[in-house]
Structure 1
């Protein structure tokens, strides 16, 4: 049976995927959630050693996961959230994955929608160009706006305390200039008709990756013959993979994988 590799995005620890790993295991699917380069085994350790992730960009992180996929017996399904969703698309486009699920993915090159909410979510990093080579964490209030805006303040704060970690700032700067950089690491081959199936999702309440951004990525693939599907999560914010409704998101991913016969 095909394996699944989970890839998290900025500011969330890789261990936050454990409930998903358990859910997939209950369906007989083996899954792993490797850390990003420089990330420690636990959220607490990552907070203590946050600058270990500084300086890593999209190319380095993608290559890191490409090496992991290369160690598996067969091409795996990749499921990524946020920047993990962008990386999942890159790996699929490189024919290193059999299929991909991009949950509320960070924008690939060519996506032009830049809603105010998205700019505000990224502003704590992008306001200072010197942050490009650093790693930064979100404050409690920044997390509430970017991740927990569709939750109660209590749940948002609990998730921040449990899963938030510092992350490299470089990927945010890279997507900020992607449409002006011919060799941007955010570029994905959207014309490949032989790649595996792709599911892109968006949340109607997401501030970090607004629905318009997720739909913009989907439209980039629409004119090709490769299998590309879209699912909209009504009322869900950027925390949808880790909050009280994560099972609904996991069930959609599992159902789609079964529908496309890739697990």
Structure 2
């Protein structure tokens, strides 16, 4: 880490106006033997909690030798309520959990959680990062959501709850009862944080310049394919795509495919 990186991690505002503490839910799964692989911290998107990764991906990652953790951002899942939370507070949650892990971690953010991860990367020297079906404040994503789900999207633009449909979240391969059960578990993000997704400034460069992989589906009805292309282009590569899947890749019927591809990428980049 360079001296400039150290300066960027420590900021006067962080000391003068610290983020209020909050109880955070962290779920985890650990491998039977320590293979020296970096821990992976999963960050759910708005409305989702750590449970979304605990359903399949945590145990699957552990079975492949990665200690896997998932944090519920404040106000989500089993974490403390936080109706006035901001993107800064969410990023603080991620940095605090990552800093407490036994090794330098890989950060994996889903949906708006990917935006939170990009902000956390400016504070935490991650080993690598994965932006999964990322919602990065792209205007095209907002227009797509309004066109495909106006009833569920419009309230979020005026401080209400964002409600995503079954077709936006999952493919038709996922059995209807399972999809309904997942939808019933969705909560909501703080109104201010939702606004900040639309009005946020471009994130600062990551500390230490870690490799960043963008993963998604060309059939995602929340994040359009061109938004995935733009997100990946920021990091100098093309997105890794899984046709036929919905926005919630970690819960969809073919959930094994993207997590195995992510873990393969990490295994190949053992020298990150």
User: Against the structure 1 CA distance between its residues 149 and 95, is the aligned structure 2 distance closer, same or farther, given a 3 Å change threshold?
Assistant: same
Partner of 1:201: 215
Written as runs of structure 1 = structure 2, the 5 A alignment for 1:101-140 is: 101-107=130-136, 111-114=138-141, 116-120=143-147, 121=149, 124-127=152-155, 130-131=158-159, 136=161, 138=163
Cα drift, residue 252 of structure 1: 0.9
Tell me, yes or no, if structure 1 residue 158 matches structure 2 residue 158. Answer: no
**Alpha-carbon distance between aligned partners in 2 of 1:253 and 1:23, rounded to the nearest angstrom:** 12
Considering Cα pairs closer than 8 Å and 6+ residues apart, tell me whether 1 or 2 has the greater RCO: 1
Cα drift, residue 84 of structure 1: 1.5
* Equivalent position SS for 1:63: helix
**Contact preservation (8 Å) 2:246, 2:252:** no
* Equivalent position SS for 1:174: helix
* Equivalent position SS for 1:251: helix
Written as runs of structure 1 = structure 2, the 5 A alignment for 1:59-208 is: 59-107=88-136, 111-114=138-141, 116-120=143-147, 121=149, 124-127=152-155, 130-131=158-159, 136=161, 138=163, 142-148=164-170, 150-151=172-173, 154=176, 155-161=178-184, 163-178=185-200, 184=201, 187-190=202-205, 194-208=208-222
**Alpha-carbon distance between aligned partners in 2 of 1:59 and 1:204, rounded to the nearest angstrom:** 30
**Contact preservation (8 Å) 1:81, 1:103:** yes
**Alpha-carbon distance between aligned partners in 1 of 2:172 and 2:145, rounded to the nearest angstrom:** 15
**Alpha-carbon distance between aligned partners in 2 of 1:160 and 1:64, rounded to the nearest angstrom:** 24
**Contact preservation (8 Å) 2:76, 2:188:** no
* Equivalent position SS for 1:65: helix
Tell me, yes or no, if structure 1 residue 13 matches structure 2 residue 49. Answer: yes
Stretch moving more, 92-101 or 62-71? 92-101
Cα drift, residue 88 of structure 1: 2.1
Name which of 11, 28, 31 aligns with 2:68. 31
Q: What RMSD over aligned residues (CA atoms) do the two structures have, in Å?
A: 2.8
Unaligned runs of 5+ in 1: 179-183, 223-227
Aligned residues: 233
